[in-house]
């Protein structure tokens, strides 16, 4: 089967950057799914690139070279593809991984030419149906995932080490007070902070404010963006993924990765986190608004403290989170589900 992807609203990155300098969640999902599909299909990714060629079986081509003379069995648009109405493909799909109004309106113009819209969570599905009137019969609900091979080996945890591994403006500032409360009860607690806006191709990491608020506490290691191998190491050695999220996540890949690493997520109950994290099984969700509830920081901190003080419970949740993520969110499993959907649409 010949499968094409188109993603023009991104920056100049290559397949190698996934393991190297790092890329954003949408880009990482594209790389991972394209690699998996390429094991049994011809896969082409059209995007801005100064490094075209074949990587891990996937053919990367500059998006300016996409033309309507190309023939595909399945073509998947991630950002708006102006050629989509005239493109010669048996099946045309929009894989939605963004929720901003400008993104959605840009591809709604080509909605009449799309056979299916792929969403990445139940929350995402409801969001598109409610706000953009996408009919339910057009939607195929899938998810983002993890590459289980990267997480199959376990390594020793660092006692009381927490990790935050999303971009800074999604809730990192709230951790300042939460960490202070936790450290008052558990003096040897530590926190690793990874990720910044260079993952999205920005020149400015956008984390100077956050570095400043944590700069006086030596127990906080502010690493910013790190290569994937190092990120996975920190995910595996941490005991809890702490994410006081303030945005409506459409999936949250960082939580899926941490769970695969045996590091349960404690987060706010925002957006798709309600399904990405199985409350009480693979982590805990704080159902409270940090900007309206004066006790939010204490509630979040108490959840962390209770687990750190109960090693047996923490180990149980860790094992459950790991098993759930590896079995339900592996890209090999998701690719099979995609292929079944492709065949259904082609049929």
Express each pLDDT in 86-98 by its tens digit.
999 999 999 998 7
What is the count of structural domains for the chain?
2
CA distance 330 to 144: 9
> In the structure encoding, which two tokens stand for residue 12, read together?
């100049």
> 123 and 185: one domain?
no
Q: Is 44:61 a contact under the CB 8 Å cutoff?
A: yes
> 182 and 283: one domain?
yes
What is the average per-residue pLDDT within 254-268?
A: 98
In this structure, the number of other CB atoms found within 10 A of the CB of residue 89 comes to: 20
> 91 and 119: one domain?
yes
196 pLDDT more than 90: no
273 pLDDT more than 70: yes
167 pLDDT more than 70: yes
How big, in percent rounded to 5, are the helix, strand and coil portions of the chain?
45, 20, 35
Q: What integer pLDDT is reported at residue 204 of this predicted model? A: 86
Q: Which domain holds residue 41?
A: 2-145+330-346
What is the average per-residue pLDDT within 231-250?
A: 97
> 223 and 105: one domain?
no
> 11 and 74: one domain?
yes
Kindly report which listed range (131-145, 238-252, 312-326) carries the lowest average pLDDT score.
131-145
What is the average per-residue pLDDT within 245-258?
A: 96
> 239 and 340: one domain?
no
Mean pLDDT of the chain: 94
* Cα torsion through 329, 331, 335, 338, rounded to 10: 40
> 71 and 163: one domain?
no
CB-count exposure of residue 2 (10 Å: 0-12, 13-18, 19+): middle
The pairing of strands 53-55 and 58-62 is: antiparallel
CATH of residue 73's domain is: 3.40.50.2000
In this structure, the number of other CB atoms found within 10 A of the CB of residue 94 comes to: 28
What is the average per-residue pLDDT within 198-225?
A: 88
> 126 and 170: one domain?
no
216 pLDDT more than 90: no
In this structure, the number of other CB atoms found within 10 A of the CB of residue 279 comes to: 16
> In the structure encoding, which two tokens stand for residue 267, read together?
């987060």
> For 108-132, how does the pLDDT look when each residue is reduced to its tens digit (9 = 90+)?
777 889 999 999 999 999 998 988 8
CA distance 196 to 3: 32
139 pLDDT more than 80: yes
Closest Cα partner for 244 from 306, 312, 315, 168? 168
In the beta sheet, which residues pair with residue 6?
A: 46, 77
In the beta sheet, which residues pair with residue 161?
A: 190
CB-count exposure of residue 212 (10 Å: 0-12, 13-18, 19+): exposed
What is the average per-residue pLDDT within 25-34?
A: 96
> 159 and 300: one domain?
yes
104 pLDDT more than 90: no
Quote the pTM value.
Answer: 0.94
CA distance 135 to 63: 29
> 207 and 302: one domain?
yes
What is the average per-residue pLDDT within 220-229?
A: 91
> 141 and 174: one domain?
no
> 139 and 196: one domain?
no
């Amino acid at each position: 089967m010949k499968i094409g992807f188109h993603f023009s609203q991104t920056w100049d990155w290559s397949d190698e950057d996934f393991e190297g300098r790092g890329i954003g969640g949408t880009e990482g999902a594209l790389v991972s799914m394209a690699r998996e599909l390429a094991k049994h299909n011809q896969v082409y990714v059209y995007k801005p690139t100064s490094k075209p060629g074949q990587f891990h079986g996937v053919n990367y081509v500059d998006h300016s070279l996409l033309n309507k003379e190309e023939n595909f069995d399945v073509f998947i648009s991630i950002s708006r593809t102006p050629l989509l109405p005239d493109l010669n493909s048996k099946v045309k799909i929009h894989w939605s991984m963004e929720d901003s109004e400008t993104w959605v309106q840009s591809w709604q113009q080509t909605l009449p030419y799309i056979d299916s819209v792929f969403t990445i969570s139940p929350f995402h599905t409801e969001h598109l149906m409610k706000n953009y009137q996408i009919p339910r019969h057009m939607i195929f609900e899938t998810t983002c995932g993890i590459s289980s091979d990267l997480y199959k080996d376990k390594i020793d945890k660092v006692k009381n080490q927490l990790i935050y591994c999303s971009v800074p403006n999604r809730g990192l500032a709230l951790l300042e007070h939460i960490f202070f409360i936790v450290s008052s009860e558990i003096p040897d607690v530590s926190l690793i902070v990874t990720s910044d806006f260079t993952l999205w191709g920005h020149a400015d990491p956008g984390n100077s404010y956050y570095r400043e608020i944590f700069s006086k506490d030596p127990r906080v290691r502010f690493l910013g963006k790190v290569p994937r191998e190092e990120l996975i190491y920190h995910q595996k050695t941490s005991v809890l993924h702490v994410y006081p999220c303030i945005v409506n996540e459409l999936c949250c890949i960082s939580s899926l990765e941490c769970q695969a690493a045996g590091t349960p997520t404690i987060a706010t109950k925002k957006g798709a986190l309600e399904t990405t994290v199985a409350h009480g099984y693979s982590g805990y969700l704080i159902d409270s608004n940090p900007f309206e509830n004066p006790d939010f920081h204490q509630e979040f901190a108490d959840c962390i403290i209770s687990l750190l003080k109960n090693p047996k419970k923490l180990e149980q949740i860790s094992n459950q989170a790991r098993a759930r993520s590896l079995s339900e969110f592996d890209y090999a499993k998701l690719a099979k589900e995609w292929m079944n959907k492709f065949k259904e649409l082609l049929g």
